[in-house]
Amino acid sequence: MDVLKVESLTKTFGATKAVDNLSLTLKSGEVYALIGPNGSGKTTLVKTIAGLLRPNHGHIAVDGVDVVADPARAKAALGYIPDEPSAWTGMTGEEFLHFVGALWGVPAALRKERIAALLAEFHLAGIEKGYFEDYSRGNKQKFTIMAGLLHHPKLLLVDEPIVGLDPESAEIAKHEFRRFANEGGAVLIVTHTLGVAQEIADVIGVLKGGRLVASAPFAALKKKAKLGARASLGDVYKVLA
């Protein structure tokens, strides 16, 4: 089952084509990592799928629902974790999670239960009554990851997942994303941390100038780049990006 289907997507800002006629598909249980140089259109692509930006051409369907035609239903099936974690001034971490849960229609009792479980998993129990703006960057990032997972979406969009996380938390986050996919979800990760992509992605896409120049499992990418079996994703990136 295709959880995400992007067809001939183009997104422009004035004369600049940030995403150019791009198509990709994500199936249930799959982790897809998107890599590419700065300005290659990775974040724009994720933001367009998430509904923050409107496509100029093409179609995006999340869980079979068109993001432009029926945004509310499409967004109900996705979770988004931004590269810059932020919330409103004066909101505590706990309020932030309840707020996000309420927006996605998670019932209060279930929300409470899930929040407690996530807080324990990310070793954040006990700090949820602090103000969001007072948290360290890493903790803010963890709260946004929890917010993305809270409503059990079908598709998780993650922009730079482990920036600011300590090694232990980075491991937890990677484990969570993998587990989320194993339980039937699909994850689209945008990252510059090639180690993460190599470690947890089933399929890796290379984006360059808004175009998807390669999209395949790591082993196939190495073949495409005409590199040996011991080549790293960094080597592949140098050839393809």
Partner 1 sequence: MYGFRRWFRNQKIAKSITILLFLGVLFAVGFGIYSFFRWEFGLIAHDAYLRVALPLFFYEGLFLVVFLLIFVSSFITAMFALFRGGMGNVLPMASPRYPIVFWQAYRTTLFSGIWPLAVITIPAFLGSAAVFPVSFWGGALFLISAVCLAGLAASLAIIFFFIAACGLYIVAHYTSRRIFSFGKAVGVGVVAIALGLWLIARRVGLGDVTAIFAPVSSAWSTSRIDILFERFGAFPSHLATLTLFGAQQGAFGVAALTTATLVLMFALGALGVRIAAWGFLPLWQIFQEGRYEAKAVSTATAIRRHGKEGPISFPRFFRSPLGALFEKEGIVMFRGMKSALWFFFLFVLWMVQVALEFFIRGNLVKYGTSIGSALAIVESLQLATAIYFVSAFILRFVFPAFSGEGRTAWILGTAPLRMQNVFWAKFLFYASIFLALGLVFCGLNFFIIQTAVAQGLAFGAFTLLIIVFLVAFGLGLGAIFPNFESDDPEVLSTSLPGLGFIFGSLFYGGAGSYLFYRFLAGTAPGAGMALAGFDALTVLLTIIIFALSLRALGTFEFVKDY
71/195 with CB nearer partner 1? 71
| Residue 32: C-alpha distances to residues 24, 98, 99, 163, 178 (Å) | 10, 29, 29, 18, 11
Rounded CA separation 113/239 (Å): 47
Residue 80 binds to partner 1 (criterion: CB under 8 A)? yes
Residue 128 binds to partner 1 (criterion: CB under 8 A)? yes
Residue 134 binds to partner 1 (criterion: CB under 8 A)? yes
Residue of the chain from 60, 145, 147, 196 that contacts partner 1 (CB under 8 A): 147
Rounded CA separation 36/175 (Å): 23
Q: Is the dihedral of CA 80, 86, 88, 90 positive or negative?
A: positive
46/201 with CB nearer partner 1? 46
| Residue 35: C-alpha distances to residues 38, 134, 151, 205 (Å) | 9, 32, 27, 6
| Six token digits for residue 193 | 């941390």
Residues paired with 112 in a beta bridge: none
Residue 75 binds to partner 1 (criterion: CB under 8 A)? yes
| Number of residues near partner 1 (by CB under 8 A) | 50
Residue 78 binds to partner 1 (criterion: CB under 8 A)? yes
Residue 104 binds to partner 1 (criterion: CB under 8 A)? yes
Residue 98 binds to partner 1 (criterion: CB under 8 A)? yes
Residues at the site binding partner 1, with contacts judged by CB under 8 A? 13-14, 16, 50-54, 71-76, 78-80, 82, 84, 86-92, 94-95, 98-105, 108, 124, 126-131, 133-136, 139, 147
